[in-house]
Amino acid sequence: MKVDAVLIDLDGVLYVGDAPVPGAVEALERLRDEGIPFRCVTNTTRHSRWSVAARLRDLGFAIPEAWCFTPAMAAVRRLGEEGVSACHLIATGDVHRDFEEAGVRLTGGEMPYVVVGDAGDRWTYGSMNRAFRLLVDGARLLALERDRYWRDADGLSLSAGPFVAALEYAAGVTAQVVGKHSPAFFRLALADLGVPAERAVMVGDDVATDIGGAQAAGLAAILVRTGKFRPDALAASPAVPDRVLGSIADLPALLERGG
């Protein structure tokens, strides 16, 4: 497969829980040796860009922070495009940092947007109800991602999608999604590479958001059988991957630099 650039999902592709996928570090080194540039596009909404990069370093990956694209970055951009400088954010970890550093107000005053990420144990009846009331009062709903689930070290775990769906159902609204599978998110990373979609490939473990999303944005897409990969999810998927690999370790042998 000839390509000029690669977009790589993180969770389930480069690592699972706290362990790197065997051969992943070496695979990225080979891409670099062969002159195939890459960027990381993660749907994680539990970490800021800064801590995503720090975590990669801890796992042994030499990936600069500037190469990591998160849904929070896309959300900050979307709010900026709409001239909005405040939002009610429901997320966990240090993802608030991406908003605060961009000057977005997260507390007090009018909240024109409810922004929802994977909030883990921060989801309570109270936090759901607060978001619901803001939506009923006219706030718009922005989903950092709407994945159904992800694979944590101890098993499959609910992602933001089920909670986004609950808020949509209760308030009678439709969320705008800024992370994968939104084509704009893939374009954000492609623009940084200066490579058009048709000359790039996405590598991911989620057949819906990584594969379906990338293909809708015009990229080829490779599914890996690590992370959240499930044969039944692949069989039931309307999106058909261009290739399926055992893991990212098999990627360099498949790719050659396009011309």
Residue 106 corresponds to which tokens in the numbers above? 């997260």
> With contacts defined by CB under 5 A, how many residues of the chain interact with Mg ion?
4
**Choice between 74 and 86, CB closer to Mg ion:** 74
**Choice between 12 and 213, CB closer to Mg ion:** 12
Burial track 9-45 (b if 16+ CB lie within 10 A, e otherwise): bbbbbbbbeeebbebbbebbeebeeeebbbbbbbbbb
Phi, psi (deg, nearest 5) at residue 236 = -90, -5
DSSP secondary structure letter of residue 11: B
**Choice between 40 and 171, CB closer to Mg ion:** 40
Q: Measure the CA–CA gap between 196 and 55, rounded to whole angstroms.
A: 29
Q: How far is the CB of 77 from Mg ion (least distance, A)?
A: 22
98 lines the binding site for Mg ion (CB under 5 A): no
Q: How far is the CB of 226 from Mg ion (least distance, A)?
A: 9
- Find the binding residues for Mg ion in span 2-21 (CB under 5 A): 9, 11-12
Distances (CA, A) of 151 to 20, 74, 90, 121, 135: 14, 23, 21, 16, 30
- Find the binding residues for Mg ion in span 177-216 (CB under 5 A): 205
User: Nearest-CB residue to Mg ion?
Assistant: 12
Q: Measure the CA–CA gap between 73 and 50, rounded to whole angstroms.
A: 11
**Choice between 48 and 159, CB closer to Mg ion:** 159
Residues in touch with Mg ion (CB under 5 A): 9, 11-12, 205
